[in-house]
Structure 1
């Protein structure tokens, strides 16, 4: 069933009594999804990495055939920032292609009733008109610094659309903007901007340094979404959205990296000078999503930036993410 942008009239997939598999439950997004689904009257299925290798097609098909989930959320992915994408392009495209293809095809074979695929805002062209609406997909060249990851994610999106068209499967895809929150990866070489800044400013504060260096010019503009808001949007979409049309998830508001860095520094308590290194890559000049479609359907983000950053920093101090504390 395809639904108009004015929003659903009734729940397309009620979760009561359903078995929902969160593939990738150990990551930041997966953990948030498990927290959110705990509020629903459903059974949450998880698969620790030692128990199931998502890159092995036969293993995924066998597990799915035995577990028989009613719904699947594909949150598993190899992710990282600019440095990680540049250093490991083969890993990013191969691993993400394998994960997407294996789970989506196995879900079809086992008769999964509903599948939600998590894409990324990086699937859109580098110079897409801002804010970016869902129709911008494949309308221009990708951002070179993360093209390998983007191509794999686009393949997953197209698989969802193809299985819907050919086999009538209720497979949907949502495109989250830049994320931050508890359980993030704080490794200085592989993290995204929010986690990298938290660690950098924390270490500068602890070491008593008077300045901290941030990659790039600070001029690019980005949108940041708290991960628990994304999880809530995914549950909303799982229950109410049924279309091959993509669904952007974000706040609809952006800010410069310089502004965002200042917000992070204030939460961390670093009072020194923030210095920008223009020799480092900036990435796309601006990236903010048009979230009109999701708002018309009845959902919008609720967590203020300062509140989300404080929760994330508390998680970092508690060692809640990779390389935290």
Structure 2
């Protein structure tokens, strides 16, 4: 638990995306410090509806907003339109509606906003996303920051790299690897050499809370959340075998991979360290062991 939240009992904190993987962890952490948490899930409010978003925020009158909500559905024209509105516009709508007394609005962005790079990516890396999700997240971060600057509301965008931990969706990579360890079934893997920067979900929650309470954080700050270490898919499976004590059978090349997969994908988290005093504290082996114990 971050020391900065110790005095937050009774502070009204609005969390969007509260039903998601990271959102559930964040809400539990806020409950531990007796914050007055208002949770929004996709069942509570349509974040693609500007008037409803603004009216709902005005009714809550939050002291802090932690905007984690994101959409990914691209299955139809209507779904793509809704995804674009949620990822691109909802953050700006929230900023427009918060009271002047709001301490901060923090947006959880994504490393997919960046272009692929063979070098560690800092916050000056080009925004050249591949696919609808990254494009809408990148546009949303820019519009969110501009809206906050116009309002004079303190804001930050936290671009998380590959987040993992207990409670992640079953179809994602780490849960799939651990399920194969438990069941003994063969794990389909991508072609060798695809890398990601894996960051523990609790460390990402820490960064969200630290950014919300860091009153000296420059307005409009953008900070990368990652470990600065990248790991291939096959290396992660090796680590999973060690921490679970089970052999994981693999079919290398049987999985087609994702459109955004790349041979290099790693953060430069130096700005978060210097501005927030934040760093990822849980390494991959410990994080996989904790996930295994919780599965």
Q: For this structure pair, what is the TM-score category when the shorter chain's length is used for normalisation? A: 0.7 to 0.9
Residues 1:50 and 1:222: Cα distance change in structure 2 (over 3 Å): closer
Match of 1:102 among 83, 86, 90: 90
Q: Does 1:51 align with 2:40?
A: no
Residues 1:74 and 1:91: Cα distance change in structure 2 (over 3 Å): farther
Give the structure-2-normalised TM-score.
Answer: 0.85
Match of 1:131 among 84, 96, 120: 120
CA contact (8 A) 1:89 1:148 kept: no
Structure 2 match to 1:249:
225
CA contact (8 A) 2:155 2:221 kept: no
Superposition deviation, residue 176 in structure 1:
0.7
Structure 2 match to 1:235:
209
Please show how residues 32-111 of structure 1 align to structure 2 within 5 Å.
Answer: 32-40=25-33, 42-79=35-72, 88=75, 93-100=80-87, 101-111=89-99
Distance 1:237 1:24 in 2: 18
Match of 2:196 among 204, 209, 222: 222
Superposition deviation, residue 109 in structure 1:
2.2
CA contact (8 A) 2:111 2:160 kept: yes
Distance 1:311 1:234 in 2: 21
Residues 1:35 and 1:129: Cα distance change in structure 2 (over 3 Å): same
Distance 2:177 2:252 in 1: 12
Secondary structure at 1:119 match in 2 = strand
CA contact (8 A) 1:163 1:171 kept: no
Of 231-240 and 45-54, the range deviating more from structure 2: 45-54
- Number of aligned residue pairs: 282
Superposition deviation, residue 279 in structure 1:
6.8
Residues 1:306 and 1:279: Cα distance change in structure 2 (over 3 Å): closer
CA contact (8 A) 2:180 2:248 kept: no
Give the structure-1-normalised TM-score.
Answer: 0.78
CA contact (8 A) 1:179 1:226 kept: yes
Superposition deviation, residue 102 in structure 1:
2.6
Match of 1:175 among 135, 144, 159: 159
CA contact (8 A) 2:95 2:151 kept: no
Residues 1:299 and 1:67: Cα distance change in structure 2 (over 3 Å): same
CA contact (8 A) 2:91 2:107 kept: no
Superposition deviation, residue 77 in structure 1:
1.4
Structure 2 match to 1:320:
none
Distance 1:275 1:294 in 2: 38
Distance 1:109 1:66 in 2: 9
Gaps of 5+ in 2: none
Superposition deviation, residue 234 in structure 1:
0.9
Superposition deviation, residue 313 in structure 1:
2.6
Superposition deviation, residue 122 in structure 1:
0.9
Match of 1:195 among 141, 160, 175: 175
Distance 1:245 1:110 in 2: 19
Structure 2 match to 1:274:
250
Distance 2:49 2:125 in 1: 32
Of 256-265 and 67-76, the range deviating more from structure 2: 256-265
